[in-house]
Amino acid sequence: MNRKTTTKTIIALLAAALAIAVALLLLLGPSGVMSPGDDASDDEDVEIVEEDSPEGDADEGEDSESGNVDGGEQDGGDADDGDADEDEDPDEKLVNAFDALVDSWMEPRDEGVSLADSDAFVAAFRKLPEERREECLQRALNLVPDDNVMLLVGILMDKSIDQELVELVFNDVLNRDEEVKKPILQEIFKDKSHPCWADTAWILDVTEGTPEEE
């Protein structure tokens, strides 16, 4: 074989190989061509998904637990409010009730103070725990106006109440207007067994307010 024939043969083989390569490319298409880094990229994607999934589940678990805790705290708060009402000290309830009664008499009333009103006031006062009576009475003396002073007279005339408390009311009456205290002093003067009778008699004698003996 001469040199010319050999060259033609090589060219023919190369052309055939090129044609086969082109045909393979056409058959596989662009999707069939993979870059060297494709496998690694896919593996990384898979690994990322596998790593993210547990974290996502953990976050959802934490959110769920947080929601349960919040709900429990809210429910617990409502329960605490109910327990607070139920567990309120009975003595404190009586004090609050008496204070509310006093507050309702801070302003004069057109109908004035009736005997029933005075009796109800004394009854509420008697229900108070003994260690809180002076405190509550002092508040009442400061808040009840002259027009409603007959509420306090019910306590003043009740000799079964501690003398110290009776004297608190007596001293308060002495600081009221003359037209308010004089009738009350004259009423005390009629009862010599009253703990404040001696002081009352002296005051009425000095002011010439002693009632005439019947």
Which tokens go with 25? 């490319």
Confirm whether 139 is domain-assigned.
yes
Q: What is the pLDDT of residues 157-191, one digit of tens each?
A: 998 999 999 999 999 999 999 999 999 999 999 99
Q: Per the structure, how many domains does the chain have?
A: 1
Instruction: Kindly state the average pLDDT of the residues 148-153.
Output: 93
Mean pLDDT computed over every residue of the chain: 78
**Enclosing domain of residue 157:** 90-176
Q: What is the pLDDT of residues 121-150, one digit of tens each?
A: 999 999 999 999 999 999 999 999 999 999
The rounded distance, in Å, linking the Cα atoms of 209 and 203 is 8
The rounded distance, in Å, linking the Cα atoms of 146 and 181 is 9
Confidence at 54, pLDDT banded by 50, 70, 90:
very low
Confirm whether 34 is domain-assigned.
no
Coil/strand/helix, residue 126: helix
The rounded distance, in Å, linking the Cα atoms of 207 and 214 is 20
Which tokens go with 22? 């082109």
Instruction: Kindly state the average pLDDT of the residues 18-42.
Output: 61
Confirm whether 129 is domain-assigned.
yes
The residue length of the chain stands at 214
Confirm whether 5 is domain-assigned.
no
pLDDT at res. 81: 54
What does residue 207 show for φ and ψ, rounded to 5 degrees?
-90, 5
Query: What amino acid occupies position 161?
Result: I
Confirm whether 102 is domain-assigned.
yes
pLDDT exceeds cutoff 90 at 97: yes
Confirm whether 115 is domain-assigned.
yes
End-to-end CA distance of the chain: 174
pLDDT at res. 19: 77
pLDDT at res. 83: 55
pLDDT exceeds cutoff 70 at 59: no
pLDDT at res. 117: 95
| 3-state secondary structure labels for all residues of 12-52 | HHHHHHHHHHHHHHHHHCHHHCCCCCHHHHHHHHHHHHHHH
Please, are residues 87 and 125 in contact by the beta-carbon 8 Å criterion?
no
Confidence at 100, pLDDT banded by 50, 70, 90:
very high
Confirm whether 155 is domain-assigned.
yes
Confirm whether 13 is domain-assigned.
no
